[in-house]
Amino acid sequence: MTWFKRDKPKIETSEADEERNVRTEGIFVKCPECDNSLYKGELHDSLQVCTQCKYHFRFPARERLSVLFDDGRYEKLDEDVTSGDPLEFIDTKPYKDRIKQATASSGLPEAIVSGKGKVGGHLVFAGAMDMSFIGGSMGSAVGEKITRQIERALDEKGAVIVFAASGGARMQEGTLSLMQMGKISAALAMLHEARLPFISILTDPTTGGVTASFAMLGDVIIAEPKALIGFAGPRVIEQTIRQKLPKGFQRSEFLLEHGMVDMVVDRREMRGAIIRVLDFMMNRSSTAA
């Protein structure tokens, strides 16, 4: 069935026009906040932050690590730690297929990548989560990788940094995912005993079991501007407490005002801010060495 009929001839487009169209689509990105068209190269140089309104686009995990470490150099860690399928779980599709698809589309081995290197001259074990791998969800592999990061830092007296970006625990692994919350928290307690710093960086979004465990356990907690940070979503909370939530609830700036985070830092100034924190917190051990 056709609802509309074209009675005028179609506008002729030459091949050259079409080609130009395709090319411009590829080099400009529209900012969802201010509607400005941003040149992709410029956006790359500004670390995916809108040069007009400072909107922070999502940032891939590997890039996070390369802009964090001195000269972008670091040793990749635990790339071989990946998810199994202990429950043989099937939702709309088998979990095994979901992992395969996520690996192929994101180019990542898991929802977190980690590395060892120097940041401002300090030894750092850093991890960065990525939303493009099953919503940045925390399964056994993610939990294991963060725990190993902490254990290595304990062995070698380094600092731990994790960039959180997560929808929460990975449902397909059931309680095994939830156990990671306790496992990582216990490892962080040992790090605390050893007086080594853990800097938690909250990016958009940091929610669920990740917020409820390590993300909020940082000695220093830094958030990117306007990131969604919370445990349950606003709708669930409103229905539970039967109250309207205030404006900006669960955003970085609101959490800063209410003492839940220590700093809100623009991505372009993040490395500098982290180095200042490390200089302050690692000073004793570095002068002793």
Contacts with Zn ion, residue ranges (CB under 5 A):
31, 33-34, 50, 52-53, 55
Minimum distance from residue 107 beta carbon to Zn ion (Å):
27
Distances (CA, A) of 113 to 40, 51, 68, 160: 25, 28, 13, 13
Q: Which is nearer to Zn ion, 53 or 186 (CB)?
A: 53
Q: Which is nearer to Zn ion, 110 or 224 (CB)?
A: 224
Find the shortest distance in angstroms from Cβ 204 to Zn ion: 14
Query: Tokens in use for 284?
Result: 């004793």
Taking the complex as a whole, the smallest distance from the CB of residue 35 to Zn ion amounts, in Å, to 7
Minimum distance between the CB of residue 208 and Zn ion, rounded to whole angstroms? Answer: 28
Q: At its nearest, how many Å lie between Zn ion and the CB of residue 43?
A: 10
Closest to Zn ion by CB, 31 vs 146, is: 31
Cβ-based nearer residue to Zn ion, 56 or 170? 56
**Whole-number minimum distance, CB 268 to Zn ion, in Å?**
14
Least Å distance, CB 276 to Zn ion, is 27
Please identify, using beta-carbon distances, which residue of 50 and 112 lies nearer to Zn ion: 50
Which of 53/236 has CB closer to Zn ion?
A: 53
Residue 167 CB, shortest distance to Zn ion, in Å, is 24
Q: Are strands 37-39 and 75-77 parallel, antiparallel or unpaired?
A: unpaired
Picking from 232, 273, 223, 218, the residue whose alpha carbon sits closest to that of residue 252 is: 223
Whose Cβ is closer to Zn ion: residue 48's or residue 140's? 48
Rg (the chain; Cα; Å):
22
* Minimum CB distance to Zn ion smaller for 43 or for 150: 43
Q: Is the dihedral of CA 165, 34, 260, 175 positive or negative?
A: negative
